[in-house]
Amino acid sequence: MTECQRSSPFVLHFFGCLAICDAAVEAIGDGSLPVPSSGVFALKMVQVKVPLAALSGHSVQLECIFSLDGESLYAVKWYRGVDEFYRYVPAEEPHATVFGLNGIEVDLDESNANRLVLRSITAETAGRFRCEVSAEAPSFETVSGHADMTVVQLPQRGPVIVGGKPRYSVGDQVDLNCTSMRSSPATNLTWYINGEPAERHHLKFYPIVEDIDGLETSMLGLHFIIKTRHFRKGDLKFKCTATLAALYWQSNEASAEPDRPVHHQRSSSSEVYLDGHRTSTLASAALTVHFLGPLQRSVLSACFMIAMLIYVVSLS
């Protein structure tokens, strides 16, 4: 026993462990001791792909993308909210099973472990969809992912603008309303003045109106005082757009011609007054000419002779 080994029981334990480890490494190297598996299971959820918004009455495809990486698949399950409505088990026949749920109609011919097709979707179809994937023994690992989907009912016509006038003057009040009828959800409305988005303080917001069938009507007002700058490019143009997700975009436009601005009207009024004064004088002269010009020459000559006789008599 060396001096170092006599110094502490801990040192003895330490050197003993080193000897055991060295022996194990040599045994693994010559193949006499098997290497244990890592015990790390590789099942992964890569992505759940669900349309953010889909049109009512159409079909949609949902995808559950996962990686087994050596594992064996036990089952794929789809849920809306907490309710399971589709299960795919490759070890069973038939592989797919559908559980009844309002608004859900599965196309079994087009669906499998990675793809789920829903037909004729309605407003009831919307919600949070979750895909759950389970592995076989020995791991029995389960992973899941989710995504939300909205079902859109488009308006049957574009937005309607009411309240405008054909002509405006600087200083006039503009009062317009834009209405988009019966959609689900309600459309988003935006006002533009001469191609530029209207400022928020020029907008009047109204509550969404819901019909008995669940469809919604949205309305947005536009109220502002006309400034000189609004007519710099000619006519005053208004536009209202209605949008729903990335599935719908419609607009309506209106325009108004400029009436004479208030300060121009005053200037014109002054000119008219001055010109009218001058015109009145000229008109009087023209009137005299009009009445004297057509007198016959004989009458003029007689008048002249009578005037001369009176003058001669007065002299005598």
Tens digit of pLDDT for each residue in 161-177? 999 889 999 999 999 99
- Measured CA to CA, the distance from residue 260 to residue 84 in angstroms comes to 69
User: Mean of the per-residue pLDDT values for the chain?
Assistant: 78
Greater confidence, 217 or 12? 217
What's the confidence (pLDDT) of residue 312?
Answer: 55
What's the confidence (pLDDT) of residue 314?
Answer: 60
Q: Percentage of residues in the chain with pLDDT exceeding 90? A: 60
Beta bridge partners of 205: 220
Closest CA to 78 of 112, 51, 54: 112
* Furthest-apart CA atoms within the chain: distance in Å: 185
Overall average pLDDT of the 117-144 stretch: 94
What's the confidence (pLDDT) of residue 238?
Answer: 95
Overall average pLDDT of the 39-68 stretch: 90
Amino acid at 132: E
**Which of the four CATH numbers 1.10.490.10, 3.40.640.10, 2.60.40.10, 2.40.160.10 does domain 44-152 have?**
2.60.40.10
Quick one: tokens of 6? 């006599």
Give CATH 2.60.40.10 domain extents, the chain: 44-152, 160-258
Question: Of 26-35, 54-63, 84-93, 272-281, where does mean pLDDT reach its minimum?
Answer: 272-281
- Asked if 105 contacts 119 with a C-beta cutoff of 8 angstroms, the reply is yes
- Measured CA to CA, the distance from residue 26 to residue 17 in angstroms comes to 14
Overall average pLDDT of the 268-280 stretch: 29
Q: Which CATH architecture has domain 160-258?
A: Sandwich (2.60)
pTM of the model: 0.60
The band of 272, judged by pLDDT with boundaries at 50, 70 and 90, is: very low
